[in-house]
Amino acid sequence: MLKTNNNIAQTGLRILFVLQLLMKGPVSKAQILHKISLNPNLKNVAPDTITLDINTLKAAGFDIIPGNKGNNYCYELKLSPIKIKLTKKEMRAISIAKKAVFHFMDFRYIVSLYKTFEKISKLIDSKEYIDTLLNFGNFLKTDFNLLRELDVHAKHKNEIVILYNSPSGAYREITLECFEIKYSKKNDKLYLWGRCEDYGGAVYLRTDKIKKIIKITKINKTPPPVCKRCMYAIKRECGSPLELEDYEKITKITPGYILIKADYLNEFNFMQRLLSFGDNLVYIEDEELLNRVRNLIKEVAEMYG
C-alpha cells in the first residue's frame, strides 16, 4: 500500500482516481465510493467528500455534469482542460512502440491499445500527432463490436452464417465453422480462419470484408482440423528477402539453402506458396505433396507450351 496517510496526499490521490473513473465513462457517486473501497491505496470517505472532489475538478476547469434519475445520477465528464505537448522525439518513440505491438501482440491487445490511444488523443493539442496516434491502418476497417463477436464464435468453434463482400464485389452468404482470428504481418490485415464445406475445407476470410453475422447455425464440438506439417528448403541466395508466413519457421540455415518447417491448414494456399519460389525451391519433404506440385507444374507447362 502507498504511504498516503497525509490528508493532502490522500485527497490528491483520490481526486486523480475519481478523474480516472470519469474518463472511462459516466459514473455515479455510489459507484465511485465502491471503487474507492476496493482500492488499497485509498481510505473510505463519506458521500459528501465525493461531492467536494467533483467540485475541485470543476474548479480546475473540468466540465462535469450531474446525471438524472434515468442514468442513476451519474456524473459525466464533457471536457478536459488538460493538453499534452509531445515532442517529435516522443512521438517517434510512440510510433515505434505501436509498430512493435502490431508485430508481436495478438489482435485483442491491439484493439485495447487503440481504445487507450483514443482516450489519450483527447488530451493532445496537435491534430497531426492525434492522426498519427490513431493511425491503425486496416484495423479500423473492421467493426470492433463485430470483431469481438467473431472472436467469441472462434473460441467456441461455432458454425455461423456471415455476409461477406467477395473479391468480385458481390455480397454472398457463407457458412463456416470458426477456428481462429489471425493477424497477417504481411499485409496488415486480420483473417478469420475456419472450415467451409462449399470451399472444400479450410478457408481464411478478411474480417474487414465480413459485413455482419446473419445467424448461428450450431455449436460444433468437433475439434478443429489438425495442421499438416511439411519441411521444405529454398536456396539461400534467392534474389529477394525471405518473408515467412505465420505458419512457417526456419529450422536450419546452411551456406547453400534455408530449411523451413511449415504447419499449414490450407493445402491449396501452401502449394501456391511453394510454387512462388520457382527454381529457388530445392526440396519438399512430403513425397505426396511433391508429386502434386510436379504434376501441377507439368499441367501449366502443357497449357502454355
Report yes or no: 79 and 62 within 8 Å, Cβ to Cβ: yes
| Residue 157 domain-assigned (yes or no) | yes
Q: Is the pLDDT of residue 239 over 70?
A: no
Residue 228 pLDDT greater than 60, yes or no: yes
Mean pLDDT of 224-236: 83
pLDDT value for 2: 41
The H or E element spanning position 77 is strand 76-79
In tens, the pLDDT along 32-47 reads 999 999 887 788 899 9
Q: Return mean pLDDT, the chain.
A: 82
Query: Do 205 and 157 belong together in one domain?
Result: yes
Q: Is residue 123 part of a domain?
A: yes
Q: Are the C-beta atoms of 247 and 180 separated by less than 8 Å?
A: no
Query: DSSP assignment, residue 197?
Result: G
Q: What residue numbers bound the domain in which 102 lies?
A: 88-135
How many angstroms separate the CA atoms of 202 and 194, rounded? 6
Both 170 and 206 in one domain: the answer is: yes
Which residue do the cell numbers 506458396 mark? 273
Q: Are 98 and 61 part of one and the same domain?
A: no
Asked if 126 and 175 sit in the same domain, the reply is no
Same domain, 152 and 127: no
Q: Which of 72-81, 140-149, 219-228 has the lowest mean pLDDT?
A: 219-228
Provide mean pLDDT across the span 50-72: 85
* 152 and 207 together in one domain: yes
Instruction: Tell me: do 237 and 296 sit in the same domain.
Output: yes
Per-residue confidence (pLDDT) for residue 4, from 0 to 100: 43
* 2 part of a folded domain: no
Please state the domain count of the chain.
4
Helix (H) or strand (E) holding 302: helix 287-304
Q: Both 21 and 72 in a single domain?
A: yes
User: Residue 13: is its pLDDT beyond 60?
Assistant: yes
Q: Give the CATH number, domain containing residue 193.
A: 2.30.30
Q: Which of 179, 199, 219 is the last residue of a domain?
A: 219
**Region 195-224 average pLDDT:** 81
SS3 call for 30: helix
Residue 131 and residue 68 share a domain: no
- List the one residue out of 165, 159, 153, 180 whose CA is nearest residue 211: 165
Q: What is the CA radius of gyration of the chain?
A: 27
Q: How far is CA 286 from CA 161, 269, 289, in A?
A: 35, 16, 5
Domain boundary residue, one of 157, 190, 219: 219
Instruction: Please report whether residue 196 resides in a domain.
Output: yes
- Both 253 and 280 in a single domain? yes
Share of the chain above pLDDT 90, in %: 20
pLDDT digits (tens, 9 = 90+) for 87-123: 888 888 777 777 766 665 567 777 877 877 887 787 7
CATH label of the domain that carries residue 20: 1.10.10
Tell whether 1 is covered by a domain. Answer: no
Whether the pLDDT of residue 263 is over 80: the answer is yes
β 63-65/76-79 pair status: antiparallel
Residue 256 maps to a domain? yes
Q: Regarding beta strands 171-184 and 189-196, do their DSSP bridges make them parallel or antiparallel, or are they unpaired?
A: antiparallel
Q: Are residues 199 and 256 part of one domain?
A: no
d(CA 45, CA 37): 9
Q: What percent of the chain has pLDDT over 70?
A: 89
Identify the pLDDT of residue 81: 66
- Which residues, in sequence order, are CB contacts of 30 under 8 Å at separation 6+? 72
Is residue 219 within 8 Å of residue 178, measured between CB atoms? no
Say yes or no: 120 and 148 in one domain. Answer: no
What amino acid occupies position 117? F
Distance of alpha carbon 289 from alpha carbon 264, whole angstroms? 12
The domain boundary, picked from 219, 245, 271, lies at 219
59-64 LR contacts (CB < 8 Å, sep 24+): 62/19, 62/22, 64/22
What pTM, to 2 d.p., does this model score?
0.46
Banded model confidence at residue 3, pLDDT cuts 50, 70, 90: very low
